[in-house]
Structure 1
């Protein structure tokens, strides 16, 4: 399994060390999910205005949020599946608001890196098809998140 991770920091606030930890954390998340395919995922760090614009455009919610995931393997209404030959799966994009992550880290009393790790794993699990629309689904997804973060050693 090779998980290629492309990171873009539009805020210039995430350190290279933080990025290395997040890349290793995603590798751990993929292993914990028994992910065996070669795949690609991208993470983009943005400001509040950008994530609010994305949230409004794609989710119809005119407010900022902490993380948004776009799973490229999920078909939306009216979309047609293409049978493309690819050397690896393209799972999708994770977009994280750095200012909101900083704010939430303070609110929850843990490090900025821990919050970035949580949001990264949360977004990654969405790319793999997990959701939290029902109470039961939320329990499953949030337990997986906690187990991955604990297994990696990124605790509160």
Structure 2
């Protein structure tokens, strides 16, 4: 599965081990969902200022957040996310979407929750993947389902609390 990671910040060091973990959690999230179409995902590492701008622009919230997900196309309730289509050639592209993670926020949350940055980043990437796959946590039942899937992925890649 193509996972493209763009490090757009300089405040938190990024290791090859972290990059490998991002690819593992993305691929495992798709496997857990039975997705065999191998879609493309982009993960951007940013700082608080950058994610704050995105959060305001797209969600009208004025604070920094830890992770944002941008599916290629929004799914309706009960519908799968549909792959994008190339408007020029009319060919179907297999792009699931983009995940943006604030490395600064992830580092603070890792310290607050008492685990390492790798675990926090793996959780945030997994959380973002499930949003790209059409999951939400806007009520207790959906939150529980999404959290169970996230924990399953983290367990499968052996990144636990």
- Taking structure 1 as the reference length, the TM-score comes to 0.90
| Equivalent residue number for residue 65 of structure 1 | 65
Contact 1:69 1:94 in 2 (8 A): yes
- Listed one character per residue, the Cα deviations across residues 130-150 of structure 1 (whole Å, up to 9, x for unaligned) are 000011100000110011101
Q: TM-score, structure 2 length as denominator?
A: 0.87
Output the CA distance in 2 between the equivalents of 1:144 and 1:38. 19
Q: Is the 8 A contact 2:68 2:99 kept in 1?
A: yes
Q: How does 1:49-128 map to 2 (within 5 A)?
A: 49-74=49-74, 84-86=90-92, 88-128=93-133
| Maintained 8 Å contact 1:39/1:91 | yes
Q: Quote the RMSD (CA, aligned, Å).
A: 1.7
Structure 1: tracts of 5 or more residues without a match: none
4+ residue runs over 6 A deviation: none
Give the CA deviation at 1:29. 1.4
State the number of aligned residues: 149
Partner of 1:44: 44
